[in-house]
């Protein structure tokens, strides 16, 4: 057996070192438990820290997508509701047209009907000027000013971005996927206005507004041409089809958003779970580690106090 010379100082040094090691381990565990985090500094586990960092940005990005989707959804729901109201207008207008096309309708009745048709034109104009927050949703990219302006009696001109132009406002709902969040007002509601002064004045128009405006003209014609009035029923059918198509388009986008949202929400859960696994401590494990470390510290303390006491001095008379 090789005898090593153990001096009192080296003995106490060893004891102190061991105590320090035990205490610093205990401190580390305590820090983990009190912060609830396994990794508070990248150097504690660089690989995990990098995953945590990238998960953090992904999560924040996803939460932002959800927030944006919800906003887009409520804008689309308002769009949907406006179109639905326009559908009601078409139904009422068709009823009125049927009534007016009846041979027995006299000029008094027709002017009463015309009064209501004019109201309907205004109603469609107001629907076209629906706002979401502070923006007009049917104006294409022109959102600050009301897109449908009354330019003359029963003349409504669409001032927004035309459906033939770049009218689409888009929102990104997941990385690289954009959905249009608006419809061009002229495509949905149409318009009718004098585009060049006459005589005879050149009228430009399309869609529901044109049908309503021309119906109103027919109703004011004396004597009334019932065939012309009747022909509007077919026009209203076409307008209704346009509205229903628009509605289907919006509805499709809404349900697509809903699906995307729930997909992102699932991703958020799984990312959060993964991040938590990397970042958060397992409390049960940590606490039992603390207990283990405490026992180790107690042991070093009691051994230390015993070893350091003994010397030949204790036995000399």
Partner 1 sequence: MSLFGIFNSHRSILLNQAAINLINNNIANINTPGYSKQRLELSQQVTVDSGVNTTISRTQSGAGAVIDNITRNRDAYLDAYFRKETTGLSFYKELNETASLMEDITNELGDTGINQALNEFYNTAHELSINPNDSIIRNNLVQKAKDLCNKFNLTYDRLDDLRSNLVGDATNPATLSTSKIALDVNDLNVKLSALANINKTICDSSSQGAPPNGLLDQRDILLDQIAEYIPITVTQGSNSLVTVSLNGVDLVKNKEQVGFFNVATGTTSDPATLRILDEDNNIVVANANSSITSGKIGAILEMGGSDSSKLNIYNVLTELNTLAREFSREINTIHQGGQYIDTSVSPNQLALVSAAPFDIFVEQDGVDTATYADLTAGNIKVNQDIIDDVFKIAAAGATSAVNETGDGSNALVMAEFRNTKIAALNSSSTESYLNAVVGNLGIQVKSVQDNYESQDTIVQQISSKRESTIGVNLDEELADLIRFQRSFEASAKVLTVVNEAMQRIINLAG
Largest pairwise CA distance in the chain: 143
Q: Which is nearer to partner 1, 144 or 227 (CB)?
A: 144
Question: Binding of partner 1 at residue 43 (CB under 8 A)?
Answer: yes
Q: Which is nearer to partner 1, 145 or 237 (CB)?
A: 145
In angstroms, give the least distance from the CB of 275 to partner 1. Answer: 11
Residue 229 dihedral angles phi and psi, to the nearest 5°: -60, -45
Residues 6+ apart with CB under 8 A from 305: none
CA end-to-end span of the chain, whole Å?
31
Region from 25-33, 46-54, 102-110, 119-127 binding partner 1, contact rule CB under 8 A: 46-54
Task: For residue 131, list its beta bridge partners.
Answer: 136
Question: Binding of partner 1 at residue 274 (CB under 8 A)?
Answer: no
In angstroms, give the least distance from the CB of 225 to partner 1. Answer: 40
Nearest to 208 by CA among 245, 182, 177, 171: 245
190 exposure class (CB count in 10 Å sphere: 0-12, 13-18, 19+):
buried
Question: Binding of partner 1 at residue 256 (CB under 8 A)?
Answer: no
Alpha-carbon span 270 to 59, nearest angstrom: 10
Alpha-carbon span 317 to 306, nearest angstrom: 21
In angstroms, give the least distance from the CB of 268 to partner 1. Answer: 14
Q: Is the distance from CB of 49 to CB of 39 less than 8 angstroms?
A: yes
In angstroms, give the least distance from the CB of 313 to partner 1. Answer: 6
- Binding test (CB under 8 A) with partner 1, winner from 144, 227, 285, 309: 144
Question: Binding of partner 1 at residue 42 (CB under 8 A)?
Answer: yes
- Binding test (CB under 8 A) with partner 1, winner from 1, 2, 9, 227: 9
Question: Binding of partner 1 at residue 34 (CB under 8 A)?
Answer: no
In angstroms, give the least distance from the CB of 199 to partner 1. Answer: 31
Three-state DSSP at 164 gives: coil
Q: Give the gyration radius of the chain's Cα atoms.
A: 39
CB count in 10 Å sphere of residue 227: 9
- Binding test (CB under 8 A) with partner 1, winner from 23, 91, 131, 141: 141
Alpha-carbon span 80 to 76, nearest angstrom: 6
Question: Binding of partner 1 at residue 116 (CB under 8 A)?
Answer: no
Q: Is the distance from CB of 257 to CB of 79 less than 8 angstroms?
A: no
Instruction: Tabulate helix, strand, coil % of the chain (nearest 5).
Output: 65, 10, 20
Question: Binding of partner 1 at residue 170 (CB under 8 A)?
Answer: yes
Binding positions for partner 1, 48-107, rule CB under 8 A: 49-50, 52-54, 56-57, 60-61, 64, 67-68, 71-72
Nearest to 74 by CA among 241, 235, 261: 261
Angle ∠(110,114,120) on CA atoms, nearest 5: 145
Region from 127-135, 149-157, 250-258, 266-274 binding partner 1, contact rule CB under 8 A: 127-135
Region from 157-165, 212-220, 243-251, 294-302 binding partner 1, contact rule CB under 8 A: 157-165
- Binding test (CB under 8 A) with partner 1, winner from 23, 91, 131, 178: 178
- Binding test (CB under 8 A) with partner 1, winner from 34, 108, 134, 309: 134
Binding residues for partner 1 (CB under 8 A): 4-10, 13-14, 17, 37, 39-44, 46-47, 49-50, 52-54, 56-57, 60-61, 64, 67-68, 71-72, 133-136, 139-145, 159, 161, 165-166, 169-172, 175-176, 178, 181, 311-313, 316
């Amino acid at each position: 057996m090789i005898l090593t010379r153990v001096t009192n100082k080296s003995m106490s040094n060893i004891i102190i070192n061991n105590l320090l090691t035990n205490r610093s381990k205990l401190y580390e565990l305590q820090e983990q438990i009190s912060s609830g985090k396994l990794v508070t500094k990248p150097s504690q586990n660089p690989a995990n820290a990098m995953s945590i960092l990238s998960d953090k940005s992904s999560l924040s990005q996803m939460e932002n997508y959800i927030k944006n989707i919800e906003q887009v959804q409520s804008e689309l729901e308002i769009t949907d509701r406006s179109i639905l109201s326009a559908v009601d207008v078409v139904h009422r207008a068709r009823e009125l047209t049927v009534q007016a096309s009846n041979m027995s309708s006299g000029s008094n009745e027709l002017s009463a009907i015309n009064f209501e048709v004019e109201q309907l034109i205004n109603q469609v104009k107001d629907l076209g000027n629906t706002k979401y927050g502070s923006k007009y949703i049917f104006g294409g990219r022109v959102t600050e000013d009301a897109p449908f302006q009354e330019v003359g009696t029963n003349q409504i001109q669409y001032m927004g971005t035309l459906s033939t132009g770049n009218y689409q406002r888009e929102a990104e709902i997941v990385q690289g996927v954009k959905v249009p969040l608006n419809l061009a007002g002229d495509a949905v509601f149409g318009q009718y206005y004098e585009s060049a002064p006459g005589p005879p004045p050149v009228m430009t128009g399309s869609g529901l507004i044109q049908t309503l405006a021309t119906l109103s003209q027919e109703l004011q014609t004396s004597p009334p041409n019932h065939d012309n009035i009747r022909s509007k029923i077919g026009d209203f059918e076409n307008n209704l089809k346009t509205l229903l198509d628009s509605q289907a388009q919006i509805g499709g986008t809404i349900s697509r958003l809903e699906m995307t949202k729930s997909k992102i929400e699932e991703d958020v859960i799984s990312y959060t779970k993964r991040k938590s696994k990397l970042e958060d401590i397992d409390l049960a494990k940590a606490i039992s580690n603390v207990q283990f470390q405490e026992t180790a510290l107690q042991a070093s303390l009691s051994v230390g106090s015993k070893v350091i006491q003994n010397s030949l001095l204790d036995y000399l008379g």
